[in-house]
């Protein structure tokens, strides 16, 4: 499979089709999640309750034959509830390691912004280092290891905002929207019963995912595409340097160098799922919002005028030239 973009595209299509037996719609979201998995990145999911965030993640794990765990973040959660702890046995006089739910291939951190900072930090450190230290022992996390954290964009009472430095560790922020009317009718017919079917058959393996990652490294990116990525990221920091002086008052700070790296990786994954072995400008444009929407901080003036990062990124995509001229 390594290097065969058509075969990889077909396998990923089979995963999406298997998930469609349970998940109605949300195909673009599922595709982006698979892309993040290929890039070895983590995802922040934002959507109101009841739009199937948990179902999608669980179905993805089933389709890949991967271990899945869900952590419900609450204000009284402790770091040990996430990463595990050391338990002392009085009779034997020894400690035993009890691993936490973070030891899974796909981890759903539900409503991550409801837990205090020390719990968020424990999870995010595991995301960054891909290992957990309990006592004097270091335990490697599974491979693949992917965290999908959710947050509610509406209800903010009793929540703790994620610091920008921690948000920056998520490769992509994906928005989970309401289904279309015809999709919601299908959901009604399929799920409005006492015991709806939620089973997804495994159609791919984790070993295949690791092979696909190796193929991702072979996707060609021309120097001109690299320069285009650099111009886009620079425009989120100092728009005036790219001829976008009118946007400067609306941005407090822009995307970090990590965004540059992730934008290149995500663009490669976008090309791969479309069965191409090279990146085109449209790949970069397609993933720019996913990679940078949570990395661009808007000013108070932007908020007062009803602007958000989505609209600012739209302007940047429209006005930053592909060829640099």
What's 58's domain CATH number? Answer: 3.40.50.300
pLDDT at 157: 58
Give bridge partners of residue 173 from the DSSP assignment: 44
Q: Which of 173, 189, 212 is the endpoint of a domain?
A: 212
Domain-located, residue 311:
yes
* Cα 72 to Cα 111: distance, rounded to the nearest angstrom: 7
Domain-located, residue 290:
yes
Q: Which of 178, 212, 246 is the endpoint of a domain?
A: 212
**Cis preceding-peptide flag for 175 (omega within 30 of 0):** no
The bridge status of strand 94-99 relative to strand 84-89 is antiparallel
CATH code: domain of residue 314: 1.10.8.80
Domain match, 157 and 202 both: yes
Confidence band for 324, pLDDT divided at 50, 70 and 90: low
**Most confident of the ranges 113-117, 192-196, 223-227:** 223-227
| Domain total in the chain | 2
Domain match, 38 and 10 both: yes
* Cα 190 to Cα 22: distance, rounded to the nearest angstrom: 9
78-90 pLDDT, tens per residue?
Answer: 888 888 887 877 7
Confidence band for 221, pLDDT divided at 50, 70 and 90: very high
Q: If you average pLDDT over residues 207-213, what whole number do you get?
A: 89
Q: What is the CA radius of gyration of the chain?
A: 21
Domain match, 199 and 244 both: no
Task: Give the start-end residues of each E strand in the chain.
Answer: 43-46, 68-72, 84-89, 94-99, 106-110, 131-134, 137-140, 146-151, 172-175, 251-253, 297-298
- According to DSSP, residue 249 is labeled G
Confidence band for 6, pLDDT divided at 50, 70 and 90: confident
Q: Tokens for 109?
A: 């951190």
* Cα 108 to Cα 149: distance, rounded to the nearest angstrom: 6
Q: Examine the pLDDT at 158 and tell me if it is beyond 60.
A: no
Domain match, 176 and 315 both: no
Per the prediction, the chain carries an average pLDDT of: 85
Domain match, 237 and 176 both: no
Domain-located, residue 86:
no
Domain match, 45 and 116 both: yes
Is 23 in contact with 63 (CB distance < 8 Å)?
no
Domain-located, residue 151:
yes
**Would you give the distance in Å from CA 127 to the centre of its chain?**
12
Domain match, 17 and 162 both: yes
Is 7 in contact with 275 (CB distance < 8 Å)?
no
Q: If you average pLDDT over residues 43-67, what whole number do you get?
A: 86
Domain match, 110 and 177 both: yes
Domain match, 245 and 133 both: no
Is 63 in contact with 202 (CB distance < 8 Å)?
yes
Confidence band for 106, pLDDT divided at 50, 70 and 90: very high
Q: If you average pLDDT over residues 286-307, what whole number do you get?
A: 88
Rounded to two decimals, the pTM is 0.87
* Cα 145 to Cα 104: distance, rounded to the nearest angstrom: 7
| Boundaries of domain holding 308 | 219-319
Q: If you average pLDDT over residues 61-69, what whole number do you get?
A: 90
Domain-located, residue 85:
no
Count of CB atoms within 10 A of residue 12's CB?
Answer: 24
Domain match, 192 and 274 both: no
Q: Which of 185, 212, 239 is the endpoint of a domain?
A: 212
Is 15 in contact with 204 (CB distance < 8 Å)?
yes
Domain match, 132 and 250 both: no
Residue with more model confidence, 198 or 63:
63
Domain-located, residue 29:
yes
């Amino acid at each position: 499979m390594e290097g065969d973009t058509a075969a990889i595209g077909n396998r990923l299509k089979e995963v999406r089709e298997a998930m469609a037996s349970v998940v109605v719609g949300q195909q673009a979201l599922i595709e982006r999640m698979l892309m993040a998995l290929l890039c070895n990145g983590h995802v922040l999911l934002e959507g109101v309750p009841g739009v199937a965030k948990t179902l999608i993640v669980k179905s993805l794990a089933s389709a890949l034959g991967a271990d899945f765990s869900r952590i419900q973040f609450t204000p009284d959660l402790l770091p040990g509830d996430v990463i595990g702890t050391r338990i002392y046995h009085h009779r034997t006089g020894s400690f035993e390691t009890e691993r936490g739910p973070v030891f899974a291939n796909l981890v759903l951190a539900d409503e991550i912004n409801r837990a205090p900072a020390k719990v968020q930090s424990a999870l995010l450190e595991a995301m960054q280092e891909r290992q957990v230290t309990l006592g004097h022992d270091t335990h490697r996390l599974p491979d693949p290891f992917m965290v999908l954290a959710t947050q509610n964009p509406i209800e903010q009472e009793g929540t703790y905002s994620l610091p920008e430095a921690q948000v920056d560790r998520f490769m992509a922020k994906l928005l989970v929207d309401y289904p279309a009317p015809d999709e919601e009718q299908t959901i009604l017919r399929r799920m409005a019963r006492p015991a709806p079917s939620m089973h997804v058959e495994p159609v791919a393996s984790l070993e295949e995912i690791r092979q696909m990652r190796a193929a991702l490294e072979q996707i060609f990116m021309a120097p001109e595409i690299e320069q285009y990525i650099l111009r886009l990221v620079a425009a989120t920091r100092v728009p005036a340097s790219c001829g976008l002086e009118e946007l400067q008052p609306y941005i407090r700070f822009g995307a970090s160098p990590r965004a540059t790296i992730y934008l290149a990786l995500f663009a490669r994954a976008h090309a791969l799922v479309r069965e191409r072995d090279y990146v085109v400008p449209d790949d970069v444009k397609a993933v720019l919002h996913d990679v940078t929407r949570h990395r661009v901080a808007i000013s108070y003036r932007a908020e007062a005028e009803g602007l958000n990062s989505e609209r600012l990124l739209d302007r940047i995509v429209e006005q930053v030239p592909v060829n640099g001229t």
